[in-house]
Amino acid sequence: MADTADTNESVERHRLGVSHAVVDGVTVVTVSGEVDHHTSGVLRLALTPADPGAAARTVADFTGVTFMDSSGINVLIAAHQAHEPAGWLRLAGVRRSVLRTLEIVGLTTLLDCYPSVREALAS
């Protein structure tokens, strides 16, 4: 994983904030704002494990995500694949409007969604 100081980003002009923390060996990526074609690159970088060979474990805290389009769907699929085969990506705190988008495209069958970061870490 890249140095935390280098990966904490706030892209105000693109309405997205991303920060990282490590909790018990699990990377917690906190995302806030809108995920669209302007901001999806920042999210892709944040959710891609630094060492693809390692069994990366990541919880993406989407509590602050207010909007997500198909660009975000593509990022989540790629991030899920980047965590395979031994690691995992979990989502936490996904708002109903964003969760509905994930459900419509069938992504909730691929990614586990939890009500909170604590629950995602405990599973």
Distance CA 57, CA 55 (A): 6
CATH number of 57's domain: 3.30.750.24
Distance CA 101, CA 33 (A): 16
Nearest to 94 by CA among 122, 119, 70: 119
| pLDDT at residue number 50 | 84
Into how many domains does the chain fold?
A: 1
Are 16 and 47 contacting, i.e. CB atoms less than 8 angstroms apart? no
Count of other CB atoms within 10 angstroms of residue 41: 14
Per-residue pLDDT of the chain in tens (123 residues, 90 and over written 9): 333 434 444 444 458 999 999 999 999 999 999 999 999 999 999 999 988 778 899 999 999 999 999 999 999 999 999 999 999 999 999 999 999 999 999 999 999 999 999 999 999
Count of other CB atoms within 10 angstroms of residue 112: 14
Q: Domain range spanning residue 82?
A: 4-122
pLDDT tens-place string over residues 66-92:
999 999 999 999 999 999 999 999 999
**Contacts for 19-23: CB closer than 8 Å, 24+ residues apart:** 20/46, 23/117, 23/121
| pLDDT at residue number 119 | 98
Are 45 and 10 contacting, i.e. CB atoms less than 8 angstroms apart? no
| pLDDT at residue number 14 | 53
| pLDDT at residue number 60 | 98
Q: What's the pTM value of the predicted model, to 2 decimals?
A: 0.86
| pLDDT at residue number 12 | 47
| pLDDT at residue number 55 | 85
Distance CA 43, CA 117 (A): 18
